[in-house]
Amino acid sequence: MFFKRKEHHVKADGRLRHIAFIMDGNGRWAKKRSMPREYGHVNGAKNFKKVIRYCGDIGIKIITVYAFSTENWKRPKHEVDAILGLLSDYIDDAVASMEENNIRLVFLGDKSIFPETLQKKIANVEKMSEQKELLLNIALNYGSRAELAHACNVLIERGASHVTEADVAAALYTAHCPDPDLIVRTGGDIRLSNFLLWQAAYAELYFTDTLWPDLAPHEIDKIVDEFYRRKRRYGGL
The tens digit of pLDDT for each residue in 73-123 reads 999 999 999 999 999 999 999 999 888 889 999 999 999 999 999 999 999
So what's the pLDDT on residue 236? Answer: 73
Query: For 46-69, what is each residue's pLDDT tens digit?
Result: 999 999 999 999 999 999 999 999
On the question of pLDDT at 149 being above 80, the answer is yes
CA–CA separation, 63 and 105 (whole Å): 10
Across the beta sheet with 103-108, the strand order is 103-108, 134-142, 62-69, 18-22, 182-185, 204-207
Its pTM surpasses 0.95: no
Is the pLDDT at 210 greater than 60? The verdict is: yes
What percent of the chain clears pLDDT 90, i.e. is strictly above it? 87
| Known catalytic membership, residue 137 | no
pLDDT of residue 1: 40
CA distance 45 to 219: 18
Mean pLDDT of 203-220: 98
Phi, psi of 125 (to 5 degrees): -70, -30
Are the beta carbons of 53 and 98 closer than 8 angstroms?
Answer: no
24 in active site: yes
Q: What is the CATH number of domain 14-229?
A: 3.40.1180.10
From the list 13, 72, 124, 209, the catalytic residue is 72
Q: Tell which residue, 53, 44, 46, has the closest CA to residue 22.
A: 44
Mean pLDDT of the chain: 94
Q: Name the burial class of residue 54, with classes exposed (0-12), middle (13-18) and buried (19+) by CB atoms within 10 angstroms of its CB.
A: buried
Q: Domain-by-domain residue ranges, the chain?
A: 14-229
The residue annotated as part of the active site, out of 24, 57, 179, 181, is: 24
Structure letter (DSSP) for residue 59: T
| Residue 5 clears pLDDT 60, i.e. is over it | no
**Using CA atoms, how far apart are residues 122 and 140, in angstroms rounded to an integer?**
11
